[in-house]
Structure 1
Amino acid sequence: MAWITMSSQQKDTCLVTGGSGYFGYRLACSLHAEGATVILFDVTPVCGELPAGMAFLQGDIREYAQVARAVSGVDCVFHVASYGMSGREQLDRRLIEEVNVRGTENVLRACVENGVRKLVYTSTFNVVFGGQVIENGDESLPYLPLRLHPDHYSRTKSLAEMAVMRADGTALEGGGGGGGGGVLRTCALRPAGIYGPGERRHLPRVVGYVESGVFRFVYGDPGSRVEFVHVDNLVSAHKLAAEALTPGREPSAAGQAYFISDGRPVNNFEFFRPLVEGLGYRFPTRRLPLSLVYYLAFLTEMPLLTRTEVYKTGVTHYFSVAKAKAELRYEPREYDLDEVVQWFVSRGHGRRSGTGPGLRRLLLNALLVCGFVALVLSYLPGVGGGSAAAGAARPNGS
């Protein structure tokens, strides 16, 4: 491929792993717009044309030689790539391990051997959460013991974050390109479930379930709360984290982890209400107890609806962004789902007069509830949100 030469007026040369995914691409475009030289690294090409001056390098994060070639000449790596967040991906434990753990080890090794000074890792809330109630938790919370993680994605993301934290301060071979004290500086961001116009992993499935009549019930305590993060708030946090890894910057983000969200805890079903109603559908009024959904999961134990996963949507867990505000100068903007609604409407979605879902048999309704619960589970960080969710390089595509 043709590599781009950075002019003296431009900022860092940045590599975004998982750059073809929703979040990775959004981050890359924002960096590019601010004058950085940006390289996208992913197994899947970007849909459509790249902005002029942005480069794409196709490669597999599991292959060290390909990773090393990608980071050559780079100042900062944004390591977004991951696998196994939701859907059928959750079933392939071997591939999850190879991408999330070995892939991260490859990125860290390549950074050290190629003199990369800064690495920002996209982690997940679930490195500390495993079904227990957490209200306004902060970064002093310990890692959840690995044996207690209810899914392999969360476990491997935790292992990867630990590796990133240990790598902070590692001496760079050759002293490090472009100065910077000759050491690698790292930090980790732990996002909530990501949303925004054009998000293509979860929101289209939500709309599909609504339009087909699957969304007929809600469940659990209406007072339970979780968190989400708008894609542009998460982009802002990543750029601020990279700045806070710059040598001489105080306070420094080096060796630190940060929870990132919109800072507005909300019931997970109520979060989707503006989307459902904005597309012209009635929001469900029937509510199932969490114990019943748990029992359904116990009876079926489907790959997308396990007993432990039920608690990830029904149990309150949200986290403070105070540390990110104080140390990264992170100030999340307020967003709603209006832009998401308009994005779907502009593509022909929304209820049409004279149409609507037919009646469902009671048994079918129960099964459909399980399906929608699985969808919500996949949207939340560590099961599907976020985190890491967040636009990732995947061996079988984004």
Structure 2
Amino acid sequence: MLEDNHISHIHSELQEGMSFAKCRKCGCMKEMLENLETTLSANLTDTTSNLLRDTQHWLNQMEPIQYPCIGCAHCFPAVATNSFHQAFPESVQSHLSGCGFEVRENVLFPVAGEYFALCHGEDCPVAISTLASVELAEQLANIKPKELCVVGKTETENIGVDKVIKNVVSNPTIRFLLLTGKDSEGHYSGKTLLALAENGVDDRMKVIGSPGKRPLLKNVTYEEVEAFQKQVQVVDLIGCEDTEKIIEKMQALSQTQSSSCGCTKQGKSDAIQSSSTTILQAKEPVKFRMDKTGYFVILPQPDKGNILVEHYSYDNALLRAIEGKNARSIYWAIIENGWVTQLDHSAYLGEELAKAELSMKLGFRYVQDQTYSHDL
């Protein structure tokens, strides 16, 4: 009976999520459906067979993935995953894809993100995460409370938490992390940060006690987690979007700790050295290889609202014409049909088709780059 309840909950969450276009384009949903299909295929019963049938139907409805996860306030696949793990605990996987990010060295906040660094002097020991309340971060940044060092969102329980840890431990004078705004249901980044502060991580770098979908920290070290736990007090104001109350709490916290926010050399000298990956410096290509499938001529047709793409062989014979309303539909058709075979050629087409689409929207004349054109 317990499993049946979880199966019913999984079904209702995924069914509602698939009614939204944003979910049909989300890597989080696709990953959930694929994992569910694999597990249900190995655990067929009268109850699971119905869910398997619908899961396969939903997979067919998925559109080209545009983002890995956007951390919605209610994340349908994440909520479904939590029930999935309760129904099939043996299926829990530790794999986390797409979890890398650039770490910049010798800067106050080494990991790039959507946050506002304010740092107004020596008395701003508070960092604020607005969790899934994106607009709240900008509201607080515009007010510019003197106690506030940095404010930004944290929408996911893995990469989002990784970034918080990196940016906090690089600035040793941040003593409080104030959690505000709505917690994303399913990901529970706020509850994950509370669990991290209280319990730390296990030997797989999984946050102990987190209710999140996949609280696995892949971009920080155990030493950085320990430093985070020792350095900051994580304060629970989850659910609060009242800027006056948040500022009042921040002022009360600041009064208990006299510290700078690391703007001076003295403050930065005690910062923990963040682990980082090698950053490749991109250079202009030395030469281009011709794609054996031929070349493309891109012709915007603003009067029709279409983009026409002609595909030619290298003896200038027209092979086919592709027409579409936007860049994505055209390059997807080209890739799906195997009319391009090289990654650099695919990248070129994506760039040029985007330019063509933009030219129709903004009214400027489109001129195709000649890298893969018939003039070579």
* TM-score normalised by structure 1 residue count: 0.23
Highest RCO, 1 vs 2 (Cα 8 Å, sep ≥ 6)? 1
